[in-house]
Structure 1
Amino acid sequence: MGDDVTSVPWWRDAVIYQVYLQSFADGNADGIGDIAGLRSRVGYLSGLGVDAIWITPWFRSPLRDAGYDVSDYRAIHPRYGSVDEGMTLIDECHAAGIRVILDIVPNHTSSAHPWFVEALGAPPGSPERSRYHFRAGRDDGRSPPNDWLSVFGGPAWTQVEDAHGRPDEWYLHLFDSSQPDLNWDSADVRSEFEDVLRSWFDLGVDGFRIDVATALVKAPGLPDLGYPDGAFLADLTRADHPHRDRDEVHEIYRGWRKLADSYDPPRMFAAEAWLDDPDRLSRYVRPDELHTTLNLYYLKSAWTADSMRRAIDASIAATSGVGAPTTWALSNHDVERVVTRYGRDDTRRRPGVSGPELGPVDEQLGRRRARAAALLTLALPGSVYVYQGDELGLADAHVPEHARQDPIWIRSGGRRRGRDGARVPLPWAPDGSSFGFGDDGAWLPQPTGWGTHAVSSQAGDDSSFLELYRSALRLRRTHPALGGTNGVHWSEAPGDDVLVFTRDPGFGCVVNFGPAPAPIPLDGRVILSSDHATTEGEVPPHGAVWLDLHPVSRP
């Protein structure tokens, strides 16, 4: 984890642990995760073997969308702690060899942000309104300016009133109405965000994950999109999309890269970019732009040998062509947990948030597949993101309707389940009011039996999810073929349901996607298996093994 200039930059092959802060650990007994709770678990993260943490937004916010509605980018929300506590956390993480990545939200602010409050009090055409997208409506102002829809459901426009209570202009919000989109044609917006980035870099933050990185720039004139069959999201890969992946966005990120490179050591960026076109995705990680993108193509792929191989090949080809590393992830706070998705007959990740109509979940099968998927993912070249709780084998929790807080659930009138099930606070102990999350309950209800998956219940059990992750991360650090960005070499597989690849020097991985055992077609010693009861010479059903092809003595 040193910063020797002769070494490979840390972010090229890091294991980055996503901390969904309000659900990680509660340090002040209010039922909500916070910086104090996270500080108390730095030892756990160090023991797990991660290289960095990504903390979801901790900025001051009305919390209409879990902090992705920011009202002050330079302050930490009091429910999480103070800036001083944040600086202490950064110092403690660095002392433990862990970098800290924050989550920046540049597409929109909160409607409570001082800029937006000023805009509401200013007239049409004013400098205050020019920081956002205010427009006159159609049909004498009665209809929205165009046909764009919110990702969370409903129109992407809300009409405001003037000082006399009369209907006035409309403002754009691609997400909730409490999240007005910023106008990145504004010099105020561009200089403000560079100053925000600089202020956190100066405090020791190592990088940022960029929320909705493709959406900042909108087409001139804000033309209609034309939705097929009333779909809430049009094809994001279409040419000249009016509010996604505009070519002009790259100028913004070239400026950000210069800012990051002005620090010693340089800071890093990771972009959230929901793009299926690998070529378009690669443009974000050209040498003078961002460092990495979150690989959502891989995350969305079905759990089949063919689908995963296509995702792996396309991802590596796209990033290697511009000299960037590939990233890998199985889940995050916006999608179903991997155990739940892989427990379905159809394991593809659907647009939006899936509902019960996708079919029942076999959690036992989902966990077998998720264990195998962890070994596949951690064996690939580049960096890996682990969402908190995946190392515990957590499934999506059922959250009662009265307790759900996701704006997707609220804005859809209950038609779309939302993401709360993947955000339920972690279990640290087998019992207690919140299974060790804190001293007095949890902000989202934890299901009965949640303590079965607790950290303390799994620690030391060689057959557990937690110990599988610890072993894999330990080997990833010590085996000379793992980590790094050296490529994948595919080998002949013993069937259509099996993937076999090697990495130099002397490492092999075999993944069996099928329901029957498969022979290991490589000559080597098994050093880790997703199934603790693996039969010699075979990969178990829905399982994976790592092999040392040229065994050597290593600590």
Structure 2
Amino acid sequence: MGMSFNDDPQWWRSAVVYQVYPRSFADADGDGTGDVRGMIDKLDYLAELGVDAIWVSPWYASPLADGGYDVSDYRDILPEFGTLAEADAFVEQAHARGLRVLIDLVPNHSSDEHPWFQQALAAAPGSAERELYLFRDGQGPDGDEPPNNWPAMFGGGAWERTTNPDGTPGQWYLHLFDIKQPDWNWENPAVADEFDDILRFWFDRGIDGFRIDVANSMAKAPGLPDCAVDPETGEPVAMVLTGTPYMNQPHVHDILRRWRTVADSYADSGLGPRVYVSEAWVTPAEELAKYIRPDELHTTFNFDALMCEWTAASQRNVIDLTLASTAAVGAPPTWVLANHDTTRVVTRYGRSITGARFTPTGIDHEAFAGIGAVPAGATDVALGRKRARAAVLLELALPGGAYVYQGDELGLEEVEDIPEELLQDPTWERSGHTIRGRDGCRVPMPWSGTQPPYGFGTAETPPWLPQPTDWSGLTVEAQNRDPNSHLALYRTALAERRANPALGDGGLSWVEGLPEGVLAFDREPGFRCVVNFGPEPYSLPEDAEALVASGDVSAGVLGADEAVWLRR
């Protein structure tokens, strides 16, 4: 049966969580789209990888206008993915292997095909149905100007005008993301009650927790005031990371406290705590830490770490800022290198600009945050892969928990040449075909074989996004045969992490006086992580025993862009 779920009520403080993007993970029925049955089939793969939990990106009923983040029914599974019974079986089978399951909650917006929004469109202005969403009259003489100047996250404006039943132009509704994603009105108690009920629906089915999509966005500033405007261009300025009238508003925390109460009501269920991880693109670190105060969410993704450039100074600054801010609220840090929204690690680290610079007080310049376009220029995939191997050893050695995005354990790079007619991310359309969007990190997993579809789909029904023809060496099957593969490194590191009492939750102490570009820290008992960001090889201590290394350290030397775990 595997481990009992009562073993560690604090499991989430150290957990390594694997993100499954269902559409691209595993395809059991060969139709070119991933499914829940495929997820069940690969549970042994995830157990052998050595993770503690699985986070499933949205598997709900959806028109897939935004890859499932446009939910039409929060209590059912997308038919292309499977059935509610199969979802229950997945949870049961995961639990039997000692794996916990987190699923996505999408609370900022629904699909425009959600029955409540369809009822709102059919109802009159001021009706109870419209009060569930954010409908407003337009500005200007005929109401033909949007209610305010807010920009949408996927491009264009954040308001869409409706048409009345008689064909005349009607009110506008808010959509911070795609036109097909109307924002819920969180000032309405009926919305809050509905989401309490959705949480309980899934907790009652045995789900261990939720990842909260854009956890900083539900609350809007009273009166929906305009954004600040760039004095030169006249365009609204969306300072998403630091706060806008629609992001990181103080009263968003009231919603999070309410959800914590729902989770805590399951404390006596015998299945361990129900937990949350927040997706909130918020900086600086002490502002993000508000989301994980003791009566709010348990953990939050650390996007500063994801955005940080590959240098010793910036990485140390991010680690210090993160440890200080999370310790101040008694929460564990949670490290993340990538997800379904961000450019693949191998590609980011293979560019001349690898991310944002961090000072001791925070982000110095944003560079590219991993979302959207990467800087121009070619990717040195070999360099990116070398750095990605070192990065995962750094990530897994740090205090707290960590997240692995599917395919990162294989060293997959961003697919940057998907034919334009096959792109599906709404960003592509909304940007007027100027920003390709996030499809390049969502290409289906290569499992087996020497050519596409690599065990995902068939030649007759190819994967929903095309795979590169040069991935034959990156399949799970190929990497299983290679003891030096990316996959082998992940398995070795995760096994050591699970066995080593120094790793997981806790603290660290920096090793000072090292050459420039070399970063090292100690954790007790008897563990040291060394990462060489510099160009020169670094001689390791003579008495040190290497536990796991991203390269060959048999000669006692750590090469450029390599990392090692030592027993001291």
Is the TM-score greater than 0.5?
yes
Q: Deviations over 1:23-67 (max 9, x none)?
A: 001011110000011111001000000100000000001110000
Structure 2 equivalent of residue 508 of structure 1: 528
* Count of aligned residue pairs for this structure pair: 545
State the partner residue of 1:214. Answer: 216
Shift of residue 278, structure 1, vs aligned partner: 1.2
TM-superposed CA distance for 1:356, in Å, is 6.1
Match of residue 430, structure 1, among 449, 454, 457: 449
Q: CA RMSD in A?
A: 1.5
Paired letter, 1:136: D
Structure 1 stretch displaced more, 352-361 or 183-192: 352-361
Q: Distance in 2 between matches of 1:451 and 1:153?
A: 36
Aligned counterpart, 1:553 = none
Between the aligned partners of 2:20 and 2:135, the Cα distance in structure 1 is 35
Of 354, 373, 380, the residue aligned with 2:391 is 373
Aligned to 2:440: 421
Q: Which amino acid aligns with 1:412?
A: S
- Listed one character per residue, the Cα deviations across residues 280-328 of structure 1 (whole Å, up to 9, x for unaligned) are 1111111111100111111011111011111111111111111101000
Q: Which residue of 539, 544, 551 corresponds with 2:563?
A: 544
CA distance in 2, matches of 1:407, 1:257: 32
In percent, how many aligned pairs have the same letter? 51
Please give the alpha-carbon distance, in whole angstroms, between the structure 2 residues aligned to 1:299 and 1:325.
17
Aligned partner (choices 417, 420, 445) of residue 466 of structure 2: 445
Give the structure 2 partner of residue 180 of structure 1.
182
What's the secondary structure of 2:75's corresponding residue? strand
Per-residue CA deviation, residues 468-515 of structure 1 (Å, 9 max, x unaligned), is: 0000000000111012x2101100253221101000000001000122
How far did 1:353 drift? 3.7
1:345 and 2:366 matched? no
Kept in 2: contact 1:151–1:232 (CA 8 A): no
User: What letter is aligned with 1:236?
Assistant: V
Secondary structure at the residue paired with 1:103?
Answer: strand
CA distance in 1: counterparts of 2:241 and 2:56, whole angstroms: 29
Which of 430, 440, 463 is equivalent to 2:484? Answer: 463
Which position in structure 2 is the counterpart of 1:236? Answer: 240
| Contact 2:537 2:558 (8 Å CA) reproduced | yes
Q: Distance in 2 between matches of 1:448 and 1:392?
A: 16
Write the letter of the residue equivalent to 2:160.
Answer: T
Distance 1:491 1:43 in 2: 38
Give 1:193 shift. Answer: 0.4
Residue of structure 2 equivalent to 1:38: 39
Match of 2:546 in 1: 526
1:272 is displaced (CA, Å) by 0.2
Distance (Å, rounded) in 2 between the aligned partners of 1:62 and 1:463: 42
Alignment of 1:256-271 (within 5 A): 256-263=259-266, 264=269, 265-271=272-278
1:382 paired to 2:400? yes
Q: Distance in 1 between matches of 2:448 and 2:242?
A: 48
Q: CA deviation at 1:536?
A: 2.6
Go from structure 1 to structure 2 and tell me whether the alpha carbon gap of 1:125 and 1:12 turns closer, same or farther (over 3 Å shift): same
The TM-score with structure 1 as length reference comes to 0.96
* 2:72 counterpart residue number: 71
Paired with 1:546 and 1:460, the residues of 2 have a C-alpha distance of: 24
Contact 1:103 / 1:210 at 8 angstroms: preserved in 2? yes
- Equivalents in 1 of 2:527, 2:54: separation in Å? 27
Residue type at the aligned position of 1:366: G
Structure 1 unaligned spans of 5+: 550-555
How much does 1:96 deviate? 0.6
1:314 corresponds to: 321
Task: Write the distance in 1 (CA, Å) between the matches of 2:18 and 2:221.
Answer: 35
Give the TM-score, by structure 2 length: 0.93
CA distance in 2, matches of 1:96, 1:181: 38
Alignment of 1:517 with 2:520, yes or no, is: no
Residues 161 and 167, structure 1, Cα contact 8 Å, conserved in 2 = yes
Change (3 A) 1:308 1:102: same
CA deviations over 1:396-443 (Å, ceiling 9, x no partner)? 013111111100111112211201110000000132541012344211
Q: Secondary structure at the match of 2:257?
A: helix
Match of 2:379 in 1: 361
Residue in 1 aligned with 2:101? Answer: 100
Q: Structure 2: how far apart are the matches of 1:233 and 1:93? A: 44
Distance between the aligned counterparts of 2:52 and 2:380, measured in 1?
A: 32
Task: Describe the superposition over 1:241-284 as per-residue Cα deviations: whole angstroms up to 9, x where unpaired.
Answer: 31111111111111111111111222100000101111111111
> Which residue type is aligned with residue 420 of structure 2?
E
SS at match of 2:124: coil
Change in 2 beyond 3 A, CA 1:206/1:8: closer
Note the C-alpha offset of 1:9: 1.1
Whether the 8 Å contact between 2:549 and 2:563 is mirrored in structure 1 is: yes
Where in structure 2 are there 5+ consecutive unaligned residues? 356-366
Q: Contact 1:530/1:543 (CA < 8 Å) preserved in 2?
A: yes
Moved more, 64-73 or 519-528: 519-528
CA distance in 2 between counterparts of 1:230 and 1:382 reads: 44
CA deviations 1:47-102 (Å, max 9, x no partner) are 00010000000000111000000000001010000000000110000001101100
Equivalent residues of 1:154, 1:411 under 8 A apart = yes
Structure 2 CA distance for partners of 1:462 and 1:382, relative to 1, 3 Å: same
Matched-pair contact (CA < 8 Å) for 2:372–2:438 = no
Matched residues in 2 for 1:467 and 1:231: separation? Answer: 49
2:287 corresponds to 1:280: yes
Residue 249 of structure 2 is aligned with which of 246, 250, 271?
Answer: 246
